[in-house]
């Protein structure tokens, strides 16, 4: 019996504008099996001295409740004016709106 493959997911971090901005780029799918990677990256970015944390979702295909929870938790720690999600697909944007992001 074949085992289901893990969802395709990569995350990259980059500092921009002399460290004022931390960009977290998501590719693939964030779900219960890998949301902790996102949560750790968001925590590290929040602890940095960056003025802004940008979560780039242009290549994000799917996010489940665990991934949404990581974003919501990070936003409550970092502050709504410091954490921004950009370029989300209409489906991801709709989910973010449902949870009040």
Q: Is residue 90 part of a domain?
A: yes
Q: Is residue 2 part of a domain?
A: no
Q: Is residue 1 part of a domain?
A: no
Report whether pLDDT(59) > 60. Answer: yes
pLDDT tens per residue across span 68-89 = 999 999 999 998 899 999 999 9
Q: Is residue 3 part of a domain?
A: no
CATH code, 38: 3.30.750.24
Q: Is residue 4 part of a domain?
A: no
Q: Is residue 53 part of a domain?
A: yes
- For the chain, first and last CA: distance in Å? 40
Q: Is residue 86 part of a domain?
A: yes
Token readout for 64 is 């489940």
Report whether pLDDT(1) > 70. Answer: no
**Domain membership of residue 60 as a residue range:** 9-98
- pLDDT at residue 30, as a whole number: 96
Count up the domains in the chain and report the number.
Answer: 1
Closest CA to 83 of 48, 37, 46: 46
Token readout for 81 is 């004016």
User: Would you place residue 7 in the very low, low, confident or very high pLDDT band (cuts 50, 70, 90)?
Assistant: low
Q: Is residue 51 part of a domain?
A: yes
């Amino acid at each position: 019996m074949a085992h289901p493959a893990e969802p395709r997911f990569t995350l990259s971090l980059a500092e921009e504008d002399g460290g004022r901005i931390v960009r977290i780029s998501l590719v693939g799918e964030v779900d219960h099996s890998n949301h902790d990677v996102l949560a750790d990256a968001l925590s590290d970015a929040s602890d940095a001295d960056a003025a802004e944390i940008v979560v780039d979702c242009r290549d994000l295909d799917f996010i489940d409740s665990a991934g949404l929870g990581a974003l919501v938790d990070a936003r409550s720690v970092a502050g709504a004016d410091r954490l921004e999600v950009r370029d989300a697909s209409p489906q991801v944007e709709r989910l973010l709106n449902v949870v009040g992001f």
